[in-house]
Amino acid sequence: MKDQLEDLKQRYVALISALSDEKALSEARTKVLGRKGELTAILRGLKDVAPELRSEIGRLANLAKEQLEKMFTEREAAVQAEVEKAKVAGESVDVTLPGRRSFFGRTHILNRVTDELIELFGGLGFQLAEGPEVELDYYNFEALNIPHDHPARDMQDTFYFSKNVVLRTHTSPVQIRTMEKQSPPVRVICPGKVYRRDADITHSPMFMQIEGLWVDRDISLADLKGMLTVFCSEYFGEDFALRFRPSFFPFTEPSAEVDIQCVICGGSGCRTCSFTGWLEILGAGMVDPELYRFVHYDPEVYTGFAFGMGIERVAMLKYGIPDIRSFYENDIRFLHQF
Ligand code: DAH
């Protein structure tokens, strides 16, 4: 029995040092030390050994078990370390490669321009006012002096939720909402999204406007003109001439469309301004006294001006963007330029 043990030990000692992969080692371990292993069988057979030899053989068998276990564990660790080493050696690092750049998000250009406009008008004393995009017919049309059968509604066809609930077609309803809540003086700007049934290279079914409203005693067209002149030179960073063309809006009287001297060619004529030298940037006018009826202001005491500007429009002019759709296509190459 002693010889049998000795022989087993020698065979496995030789085997363990010869094996160099984890799977073979684990199989060999099971074969000798597992539940049905060779050494386990010897240990089980101890009960049949003559009593005077039992303790001696038992001691030797346990010793052999311990030794083999230790050898297996050490050999397994060594094999594992070698595998790791080979893996690292295979992954050579090219230290001359440029680093991977991390990706930074940024504010969308339209939100940036909106923030700039809020800041700029804030400096001119205008407070921020906001209204809902899903708007009542009353605020979007009715209280702006656009009754149900008025032809001006045709220019602003929109998306109807029901007969009296629409996606707002402009930011002008915020004028009414503000005046309902607050008595004069009122000096607010109202930026936000608006919706129309419109889509081409310069029109999108969803776009952004910024509305301005200033109502107080003795406000005149001169104040409007002065304020817009300051705005343009601040925003475009240069003194461009402004031109007021008579126009019509149901909520202003008189009304004007305001053109700025072409910021691209300076007025000599180019493709952007269709060779006219002028670019339309907003609609404006003196608040029609008819509106004051809806908000209970006294038209004998108060006057005011209002204007509405397309945010995409001024952003396109400032940054030379030819197509309004670029703002909404989520093309990172476009967005990352700003
Ligand atoms: N709401 C008009 C539009 O979307 C723009 C506008 C024109 C706003 C004149 C005004 C204004 O406040 O006075 O076409």
At residue 308, the pLDDT reads 97
Please work out whether the CB of residue 204 comes within 6 Å of at least one atom of ligand 1. Answer: no
Is residue 194 within 8 A of residue 210, CB to CB? The reply is no
Is residue 234 within 8 A of residue 120, CB to CB? The reply is yes
Please work out whether the CB of residue 306 comes within 6 Å of at least one atom of ligand 1. Answer: yes
Tell me if residue 257 falls in helix, strand or coil.
strand
**More confident: 103 or 277:** 277
Main-chain dihedrals φ then ψ at residue 10, nearest 5 degrees = -65, -40
- Side chain identity at 90, as an amino acid letter? G
**pLDDT confidence bin for 182, thresholds 50/70/90:** very high
At residue 323, the pLDDT reads 83
Over residues 206-229, mean pLDDT: 95
At residue 284, the pLDDT reads 97
Please work out whether the CB of residue 249 comes within 6 Å of at least one atom of ligand 1. Answer: yes
Is residue 180 within 8 A of residue 295, CB to CB? The reply is yes
* HSE-CB for 268 with a 13 A CA cutoff: 3
Q: Which of 154, 143, 251, 134 is nearest to 198 (CA)?
A: 154
Residue 294 has pLDDT above 90, yes or no: yes
At residue 309, the pLDDT reads 95
At residue 204, the pLDDT reads 82
At residue 115, the pLDDT reads 96
pLDDT in tens, 6-48: 888 888 888 888 888 889 888 989 999 988 988 888 888 888 8
Q: Which of 120, 114, 8 is nearest to 60 (CA)?
A: 8
Residue 153 has pLDDT above 90, yes or no: no
**H/E/C letters for each residue in 149-200?**
CCHHHHHHCCCEEECCEEECCCCCHHHHHHHHHCCCCEEEEEEEEEECCCCE
The percentage of the chain sitting over the pLDDT mark of 70, rounded to a whole number, equals 99
Q: Which residue has the tokens 């008595």?
A: 183
Is residue 308 within 8 A of residue 210, CB to CB? The reply is yes
pLDDT in tens, 73-95: 998 888 888 888 888 877 777 88
Q: Which of 214, 307, 313 to mutate to test the pocket of ligand 1 (most atoms within 8 A of CB)?
A: 307
At residue 256, the pLDDT reads 95
Ligand 1 geometric centre to CA of 306 (Å): 8
**pLDDT confidence bin for 207, thresholds 50/70/90:** very high
Question: Ligand 1 atom 8: the closest Cα is on which residue?
Answer: 308
Please work out whether the CB of residue 9 comes within 6 Å of at least one atom of ligand 1. Answer: no
The percentage of the chain sitting over the pLDDT mark of 90, rounded to a whole number, equals 51
**pLDDT confidence bin for 288, thresholds 50/70/90:** very high
Distance of CA 116 to the CA centre of its chain: 18
Please work out whether the CB of residue 310 comes within 6 Å of at least one atom of ligand 1. Answer: no
Is residue 125 within 8 A of residue 272, CB to CB? The reply is no
What is the distance between the alpha carbons of residues 162 and 201, in angstroms, rounded to a whole number? Answer: 30
Sequence-distant (6+) residues with CB within 8 A of 112 are 338
pLDDT in tens, 91-150: 777 888 888 888 888 899 999 999 999 999 999 999 999 999 999 999 999 999 999 888
* HSE-CB for 32 with a 13 A CA cutoff: 25
Average pLDDT, the chain: 90
What is the distance between the alpha carbons of residues 172 and 23, in angstroms, rounded to a whole number? Answer: 77
Residue 152 has pLDDT above 80, yes or no: no
Ligand 1 geometric centre to CA of 282 (Å): 7
Please work out whether the CB of residue 250 comes within 6 Å of at least one atom of ligand 1. Answer: no
- Degrees (nearest 5) of the Cα angle 176, 310, 224? 60
